[in-house]
Structure 1
Amino acid sequence: MLIVMPSPPPHPLEHGVVLAEVRKVRRAGVVRLRELALPVVAEVARDLPRGDGELPGGPVEKVLRLAVSRMGGGTLQTAAEYSLGLAQGTRDWPAADRRRRAAQVYGVSVERFRKHHEFMVLGQVAEQIVQVAGRTPVTDAPAPAPYDRIPAAHRALRVRVERRTVPVTVHVHSVDLLRDMDVVVSPTNTYFALPAPYKSSISATLRRAGARRDPTGGLVEDRVHDELGSWAARHGAPGRAALPGTVAVTSAGALADQGIRRIYHVAVAVPRPETNDYDVQPADITRGVARVFALLAEEARRYDPPLRSVCLPLLGAGRGGLTPLESFGALWTAVEAELARGADWDIHFVVRRHARADLLERLLTSVGED
């Protein structure tokens, strides 16, 4: 008779070993994950259910993102995202820049962060990886799909403002996929200097999508960039910083073919001297969005049909360092004030991730509740 012995339980991970591998990632960054020897984290990754696609850093990046997502938000999670290069736009940042940005989350010097906070932050990442490994079922059954349906890319919500209900739409895709929108709001720095068109930020995406190209893809006219430069020249701002909250207006360039009529560039990012970083203050976002509505009211009647719809991204939630909640809170202060006085604008928000859309939906549908 053949006796089948049960498989021994997996050996529990040692926190110190996992922490050593997490520290390797901090030094190298996620862009070099495939070059690193991370046998323990790789073993955890092999036991995770397979998703529909692979992250650029492979299964190991999936483990890291899962571990960080379980840290409960706040400064701890934000510092972990910057430390490892998991925050949006930080994948290719040098280790020193990531450490500096993580130190700013706690409001301490880089040296103090390195000696004290960093060990705590990375230790918590390691702890979450250990917990993930302990809860991951080892099975030959096919992994369940992450969704039983495709999440909606456009969410039509009804939001209570004062004594009326207004429609608000949340779009979940890249900003250049918007259609039939009168005004798209774009964040920019106080110098109105657009980033290179190959970058992934909202302003770079709009610059790229607004450019005119020939049939082979060659650049014919960098329309949004050129018009923004002309605006700065007309208003005496070339080469000097404008006040945060200033709004510049351009056409949508080639995006007019998609029904986009205007781009309002809101200066919210204040460059930090001799660094690649920016400071964004929520009050500047609120002031800038209020100015957006003032300009919209000025321009609306000049067009036929009049301008009415406006789409807002989460200003400052990328390189600006604000959390999505902080960004939306600053945006909504101005939006709600405008709607509360009876304005009839058609309000839209655009985000790339469904997790952020879920957050906006929860916040918007709870507006007006006691």
Structure 2
Amino acid sequence: MLIVMPSPPRHQLEHGAVLAEVRKVRRAGVVRLRELAVPVLAGVARELPQPPSGDGELPGGPVEKVLRLAVSRMGGGTLQTAAEYSLGLAQGTRDWPAADRRRRAAQVYGVSVERFRKHHEFMVLGQIAEQIVQVAQRDRVTVVAAVPAERLPDAHRALDVRVHGRTVPVTVHVHSVDLLRDIDVVVSPSNTYFALPAPYKSSVSATLRRAGARRDATGGLVEDRILDELGGWAARHGAPGRAALPGTVAVTSAGALAGQGIRRFYHVAVAVPRPESNDYDVQPADITRGVARVFAQLAEEAGDFDPPLRSVCLPLLGAGRGGLTPLESFGALWAAVEAELARGAEWDIHFVVRRHARGDLVERLLAGMREGD
């Protein structure tokens, strides 16, 4: 009797998985490609049309072909040049150490190595990964799932992250922000007028406004607590009706979410409204500045509470209607978080996202963190 074995589950290529392997190549360089475990990139390479025999093979094999193809489609300019240096694809750089390749890529943008590492490199590597995903989509590439399809992703992912010589715990929550429990401070994105969206909307700030309100037994609104407190904060600081500087932090209680162990909301002004429109702009530098001020505010008032404030949870600021990609948002957030942890701060760091794909991305980025990386 013929027995047909089921084929392995196959899934469309996922940006976070590609990015994790691109980061691994950046550290090693293409000169060591054959030594690296990059199953996703190898899967893409296997599915792409192979060159005619006799055309010769690249030293890094089919995976290098995928990387070169992706980088060649980045449109030239500083982005493509920095990508070539980052991976060791530029002529004469195959065997350059990772630090030298990063230094040369930083020179392309005219910034310091440290600034490139914290800001530009996320964007460059993310765009390489995006081009690989597009290559795969054009050729209808699928890859064998690395995890059994029946396993559901965890809603709470505890990770150990290396930051400047020490290991710090970081938790990634994959669910709606109003389901958080026992976290001292939850960060909420705001516009520069600290005007809250309508409570029926789905954004983080709307969800926190809705969850923080006090209601009667039938669900009727008794007190729009967060709206009232935020208006009071603006009045005390002379800001009602006028825009605050991007990065400003306003503080309120958590309203009804105090019953879930949430103690404070820190509202960070990151969205700058465009005049006479419904749109606004979010700049990564404003996110980094705002999160740095979150930590300054936390340090200032932590000891006023019993027990002291210790934990803080960050959503991907600006990654909704703000127009930033999740990768850009995380890069801007992490620049401030890393700087705070590097000075020895002992805060308990949390991230919250609603989608499992974004949780996977954040988890892979954190798992890839190494000292000096």
Per-residue Cα deviation, 1:125-156 (whole angstroms, up to 9, x for no partner): xx999966x99xxxxxxxxx983112100000
**How far did residue 331 of structure 1 move?**
0.4
* 1:287 maps to amino acid: R
2: CA distance, partners of 1:131 / 1:324: 25
1: CA distance, partners of 2:149 / 2:353: 19
Partner of 1:37: none
Partner of 2:152: 150
Aligned equivalent of 1:319, options 302, 318, 321: 321
Per-residue Cα deviation, 1:274-332 (whole angstroms, up to 9, x for no partner): 11111000010000000000000011000000000000000000010000011000000
TM-score for the superposition, normalised by structure 2 = 0.61
Partner of 2:244: 242
Describe the SS at the equivalent of 1:297: helix
Partner of 1:350: 352
Aligned equivalent of 1:219, options 203, 218, 221: 221
Is 2:279 aligned against 1:277? yes
Unaligned runs of 5+ in 1: 1-70, 77-126, 136-144
**How far did residue 226 of structure 1 move?**
0.4
Describe the SS at the equivalent of 1:241: coil
**How many residues align structurally?**
241
Is 2:365 aligned against 1:359? no
Describe the SS at the equivalent of 2:316: coil
* 2:219 maps to amino acid: G
Is 2:191 aligned against 1:165? no
Per-residue Cα deviation, 1:99-122 (whole angstroms, up to 9, x for no partner): xxxxxxxxxxxxxxxxxxxxxxxx
2: CA distance, partners of 1:245 / 1:326: 17
Matches within 5 A, 1:183-202: 183-202=185-204
1: CA distance, partners of 2:139 / 2:300: 56
Partner of 2:208: 206
Aligned equivalent of 1:180, options 179, 182, 185: 182
2: CA distance, partners of 1:305 / 1:259: 12
Relative to structure 1, the CA distance from residue 325 to residue 128 in structure 2 (aligned partners, 3 Å threshold; closer, same or farther) is closer
Describe the SS at the equivalent of 2:289: helix
2: CA distance, partners of 1:367 / 1:131: 32
Relative to structure 1, the CA distance from residue 150 to residue 128 in structure 2 (aligned partners, 3 Å threshold; closer, same or farther) is closer
1: CA distance, partners of 2:213 / 2:74: 39
**How far did residue 75 of structure 1 move?**
10
* 1:194 maps to amino acid: L
* 1:286 maps to amino acid: T
2: CA distance, partners of 1:217 / 1:243: 36
RMSD: 2.6
* 1:268 maps to amino acid: V
Which structure has more relative contact order (CA 8 Å, sep 6+)? It is 2
Matches within 5 A, 1:52-201: 147-201=149-203
Aligned equivalent of 1:259, options 227, 251, 261: 261
1: CA distance, partners of 2:347 / 2:137: 46
Is 2:234 aligned against 1:232? yes
Describe the SS at the equivalent of 1:236: coil
Relative to structure 1, the CA distance from residue 288 to residue 253 in structure 2 (aligned partners, 3 Å threshold; closer, same or farther) is same
Identity of aligned residues (%): 82
2: CA distance, partners of 1:196 / 1:338: 33
**How far did residue 204 of structure 1 move?**
0.1
2: CA distance, partners of 1:216 / 1:181: 28
1: CA distance, partners of 2:218 / 2:323: 37
Describe the SS at the equivalent of 2:154: coil
Per-residue Cα deviation, 1:247-296 (whole angstroms, up to 9, x for no partner): 00000000000000000000000001111111000010000000000000
Describe the SS at the equivalent of 1:248: strand
Partner of 2:331: 329
Runs of 4+ displaced beyond 3 Å: 127-132
TM-score for the superposition, normalised by structure 1 = 0.62
Partner of 1:59: none
2: CA distance, partners of 1:271 / 1:354: 30
**How far did residue 224 of structure 1 move?**
0.5
Partner of 1:295: 297
Describe the SS at the equivalent of 1:228: helix
* 2:157 maps to amino acid: R
Relative to structure 1, the CA distance from residue 75 to residue 272 in structure 2 (aligned partners, 3 Å threshold; closer, same or farther) is farther
Relative to structure 1, the CA distance from residue 152 to residue 274 in structure 2 (aligned partners, 3 Å threshold; closer, same or farther) is same
Is 2:370 aligned against 1:368? yes
1: CA distance, partners of 2:332 / 2:222: 38
